[in-house]
Amino acid sequence: MSTEGLASFDFPSAGKPLMTWYRVYGEYGLSNGRRPLIILHGGPGVPCDYLSLLAEPLWLEYSIPTIIYDQVGCGRSTHLKEKADDPGFWTHKGVTYMFQEQLLQLKAHLGLKGEYDLLGFSAGGCLAFDYHVNHQDDGIQHLILASSPYDYSKWREVVKEQLRELKVLEIVEKHEAAATLEDPEYQAACEAWSGRHMSVLPEAQWPEELKRSLQMAGEDPTVSTILGGSDEFLKNTGLYSTWSAVGRMDQVKVPTLITNGVFDMIPSKCQKAYVDGIKDTEWVVFEKSAHLFHIEEPDKCVEVLNNFLRR
C-alpha cells in the first residue's frame, strides 16, 4: 500500500514555485508503536525510485511507515536547470541548506509533528547529518547513515586507493589528464570500479527501480554535476567537495546506525570515523555487498533496520 503526491516548497531564491514529489508506504499515526521513517536519497541528484526496494518491505514486513521523495532538481520534483551556472544559489547558508528546508516543508505538508526516524543513503547521509545537527528538537529518534562519506575529500582519496588496487589507476590518470573519457580503455576502467564497488550484481540483474533512478539522473545531471562534480575520479570539483562531518560528530544526540557493504565504494575506513566520533552507534557491514546492499542483501538489510529502529 503506497500513496504519492506533490507538496509545495517555498524557496524564494529559486525564482519560481517548487514542488516536491513524494511517496508514502503505509500509514503513520497508527497505534502500532512504529514511528515513520524518512529516507533521503543519494547521488546527489539520483531520484528515490531505487529506495522503494527498501521502503516497501519495511512497511509490508515490519509495519514501519516509510516516506521517500525526490529532492528538488531531480526526478519528479521541480528541476533547476537554470541554476546550473549559479553556485551561489546552491551554497547559500550551506550546501545542504535548501534540501534541509525542503524536508522541513515536506514534513509540515504530511502533518508529521511527532517522533520519527531519519535515514540518509550515500550522499543523502550528508543531508541527514546536517539536518539532525541543525534541528535537534525536530523529533528524530534514530539516525541511520547508510554508506555515507564522513568527509568528501577524504573519500576521494579512498577512491584513488580502490583504483590502484584494481590496477587501473594509471589508465584513469592518463585519460582524465588527456580528457579522453570516451576511450574504451577508460570506460573499461570505470566498469571495473563500478562492478567491484557500486554493485556486485551484474548490470543485467539490476532491478528496474534502480535503472529508472539512474536514467532520470542522466536525463538532467544538473544537481549531480554542480554538487557531486564531474564524473571523473580524480577531480573533486563539486560543491560537496568541502563537505565534512569532522568536528561536528559530537553534536549527534540520538542512537545512530552506521552501515556499509564490505566492497563498498564508501568502505569501512570511511565509516570508522563516524563510529569513533558519534557517541551512541551501531555498525553493520554487509559481507556480500558493495554500495547497494539494500538490493544485494535485501532480507538482511530490512531485518537490521527493523532491529535497530526498535531500540
Which grid coordinates belong to 214? 539512474
Active site residue 70: no
Asked whether 25 and 1 are in contact (CB, 8 A), the reply is: yes
Contacts of 129 (CB under 8 A, 6+ apart): 120, 143, 145, 148, 245, 248, 252
Catalytic residue among 175, 197, 291, 294: 291
Active site residue 63: no
Catalytic residue among 175, 224, 264, 289: 264
Helices 152-165 & 184-197 angle (0-180, nearest 10): 110
User: Which 8-state DSSP code applies to residue 138?
Assistant: S
Catalytic residue among 77, 122, 148, 289: 122
Which residue carries 557491514 as its cell?
285
Active site residue 122: yes
**What is the C-alpha to C-alpha distance for residues 52 and 110, in angstroms, rounded to an integer?**
18
State the sign of the Cα–Cα–Cα–Cα dihedral 257, 259, 265, 269: positive
Contacts of 167 (CB under 8 A, 6+ apart): none
Instruction: Return the active site residues.
Output: 122, 264, 291
